[in-house]
Structure 1
């Protein structure tokens, strides 16, 4: 460990915590404290190409502005890998991205946008033009490419441009494939979440515990190839389509059952109201009918008109008076006989 490193470590260890916190908080204002900025991910590379001791290799990444492109170039200059083991002779750069036209919002039409390009030969005259042409001809948008050349001491002539084109084209193809694969992984994750939601809903409706779903994150599909990811997406979409169809059928069945229940309830209420109306009408008519019956009975109980005797034999009043006179005469006759006998 150098004295400078030891001194830095010592001062950091003995520095008050408040000061250390303040220093770390300044990292956003002083990028050098956290290292040089890195280019946007993903960063892909071509295979190295060697011809007469000159080596060419390309790196590509997403870039939506000049800053992203220049950050890529700076990063590659300091890169040390097996294919980029040292400082290269040339780091040729080109980028192509969409940018809003002045005064445009980007929401009206495609005419709000324009294509911006930029390049840096870095000493290899004409090299950046080749990279720019690759971007334009092969559909590279919002992309930056750096082609590195390590000069081997032998001049290649026009062949160097073919090599620049070859490695730039390969790097661009790999970047576009990586972006497509990333989109497929995100799509798979989204489909898994939708399928899990349908499964949970069905399990809740059935009163069962949903099966434990597999990990549905982009990381779970990190090892997928683009071809396999496309097949999985197609399978997930088909499964989701079937689940959605089943869900619609279940909802329609529930709607029909609910409609039938409401209709039955409506009919039952109407029948009850009709029955209640009949009972009310019957109750209103009963007293009058009962009164009429009593009057009829009373009329039947009344004796027939005209004079009748006590026995109800139908003799008139004259005959009754004759009977009474006969009885009186009989009584007088008995009284007279008793008087004579007493004398």
Structure 2
């Protein structure tokens, strides 16, 4: 994904139906993260975060939540905010990071100022290519300013979990690459010294399905240390081989 650009395009509409009516047909993309419910004096708040790489995908996700997932029990407000990295007009994205700009926006859906608050939460977590939708079912009692705290809490929860998921995916990718490097170095060392196997851990492929972020970070450090160790052993082996060859060439 390209880094954040400097161009920002704000698309903000207060009427949810006006925004999503231009959506493409409903898809079945499920939310990647869902927050815990917050209940206060009859009102219920819950946030969902969907992946969305373009404004059209944003509209489709909002429509899907409103017209499919919440069809049986419509929310009073579907407050949404999004941040998508999109190609600039006339660009195809093949020219590098300068081809992209950040498309951002929010919808209050009748809960004045709420959309901007959700958008600020997304910005604070540097969430890109996603839409956060905070749903509120009004319970009949006006909550006052505390309703914004509930909206922000739900939004922050899904953003934080999404960020951790992104970091975990990057961690697993890095581990997989380090495993491949380490396996190659071990094979090289074994070929140079068949009677002296290298002992820096298992050579079997790893399953990181249930890996958590903290353990992943520890494993990355362990792999990096193992790679340094094998590189050191290889350097010593090459030096010894070079010295032996020099002695053979010098009969004195």
TM-score tier by shorter-chain length is 0.7 to 0.9
Task: Pick one of 46, 49, 56 that aligns with 1:57.
Answer: 46
Q: If the length of structure 1 is used for normalisation, what is the TM-score?
A: 0.56
What SS is found at the alignment partner of 1:221? coil
Distance 1:143 1:248 in 2: 47
Superposition map of 1:12-91 within 5 A: 36-38=27-29, 43-77=32-66, 78-79=68-69, 86-91=73-78
**CA contact 1:58–1:171 (8 Å) conserved in 2:** yes
Question: What corresponds to 1:193 in structure 2?
Answer: 180
Task: Pick one of 140, 150, 156 that aligns with 1:169.
Answer: 156
Distance 1:214 1:187 in 2: 17
Between Structure 1 and Structure 2, which shows a larger proportion of helix residues?
A: 1
Please, what is the CA RMSD of the aligned residues? 3.3
Question: What corresponds to 1:240 in structure 2?
Answer: 227
Q: Which runs of 5+ in 1 are unaligned?
A: 1-30, 269-343
Superposition map of 1:234-273 within 5 A: 234-261=221-248, 263-264=249-250
Deviation of the 1:86 alpha carbon = 4.0
Q: Which has the higher contact order (CA 8 A, sep 6+)?
A: 2
Q: How many residues align?
A: 225
The 1:238–1:212 alpha-carbon spacing in structure 2 relative to 1, beyond 3 Å, is closer
Distance 2:59 2:38 in 1: 24
Distance 2:39 2:222 in 1: 43
Deviation of the 1:170 alpha carbon = 1.3
The 1:228–1:85 alpha-carbon spacing in structure 2 relative to 1, beyond 3 Å, is farther
The 1:87–1:254 alpha-carbon spacing in structure 2 relative to 1, beyond 3 Å, is farther
Larger Rg: 1
Between Structure 1 and Structure 2, which shows a larger proportion of strand residues?
A: 2
Q: Which runs of 5+ in 2 are unaligned?
A: 1-23
Superposition map of 1:82-161 within 5 A: 86-102=73-89, 112-161=99-148
**CA contact 1:66–1:118 (8 Å) conserved in 2:** no
Question: What corresponds to 2:7 in structure 1?
Answer: none
Distance 1:249 1:111 in 2: 46
Q: If the length of structure 2 is used for normalisation, what is the TM-score?
A: 0.74
